[in-house]
Amino acid sequence: MAKLFTAIKIKDLELKNRIVMAPMCMVEADNDGYAKDWHVIHYASRAIGGTGLIILEATAVESRGRIKDRDLGIWDDSHIKGLEKIVKYSKELGAKMGIQLAHAGRKCRVDSEQIIGASPYAFDNTYPTPKEMTKDDIMTVIKAFKEGARRANEAGFDVIEIHGAHGYLINEFLSPLTNKRTDEYGGSLENRTRFLREIIVEVKKVWPENKPIILRVSAEDYMEEGNHPEDLVEIINLVKDEGIDIINVSSGGVVPAKIDSYPGYQIPYAETIKKGTGLPVIAGGLISEPNMAEEILKNNRADLVYLGRELLRNPYWPLHAAKELNVDIKWHGAYNRAKI
């Protein structure tokens, strides 16, 4: 049996296979962050196609936490209804559902918002300079993540992912390239991890114990003075006992940097984090071939594999992958007549 199509259980999250749809910004919400029927169709298509776990795109816990206008929001109770509809239909079609709780920090491109960051430095000369967060700002954002987690649970999500990658707000605190603070939230690696730890502690107060929490990380900053996989191992080990169950491994985005990307370029980072933390990891990065995904799992380099653009190109990738790996899986309802 191909490992890609074996089940896995983490807490009460039971997945029928190891295929994960990565969070990808769709920029299809309205200007106030509300989901549309477009999102229902988009995600339900991947559920019909056999994806085991679908993680919704970066969903802002504050209005000023959006990356762009028309990003999804979860900063108000009124957002729950639209998200609940996405969850309902995709779960009925066989997928488990996650949502990425996010704050863009200094990488917010919404002109109407005053942006904030760990320190008052712009990402590059095309971005505005953020306001350095005060202690009150920090407490406000921590509460926003907590309330976002509560709303995600009310909407019926099976898992949440805390976005600590790609140069967004949590990542800005974690990386020495972007965190130049001199208070207890800056300086040492432990201090730079404090903001993340406090978010997790508050989120755990409202997120059910039986549902797992994923942490997405950028394992490599691609700058000598930045974070590297071994640093992320240390960071994760500082916070995992607060309630992190799975690590989703990505890289880059905290500062402009040249990245040599090729199929599987992030897999070694996932291996390092898996070995160094003892936690299940989701690995990916330009993976498009079923045999490549199978190799990663069979060689115990990761526990699950995420796909991004490949699932945009082909919502039914899992069905084709099963054929290529000689696995007989159930197709959905009326689609069964087209089974390969």
pLDDT at 273: 98
pLDDT tens digits along 213-238: 999 999 999 999 999 999 999 999 99
Count CB atoms within 10 A of the CB of residue 208.
11
Contact 103, 65 (CB under 8 A): yes
Average pLDDT over residues 64-88: 98
What pLDDT does 333 receive? 87
Q: Does 340 score more than 80 pLDDT?
A: no
pLDDT tens-digit readout, 179-201: 999 999 999 999 999 999 999 99
Tell which residue, 226, 112, 109, 92, has the closest CA to residue 171.
226
Q: Residue 221 is part of a domain; what is its CATH number?
A: 3.20.20.70
165 and 215 Cβ atoms separated by less than 8 Å: no
Give the number of domains in the chain. 1
Per-residue pLDDT tens digits for 104-120: 999 999 999 999 999 99
Range of the domain at 10: 3-338
pLDDT in tens, 5-22: 999 999 999 999 999 999
What DSSP letter does each residue of 163-175 carry, written as one string? EE-TTSHHHHHH-
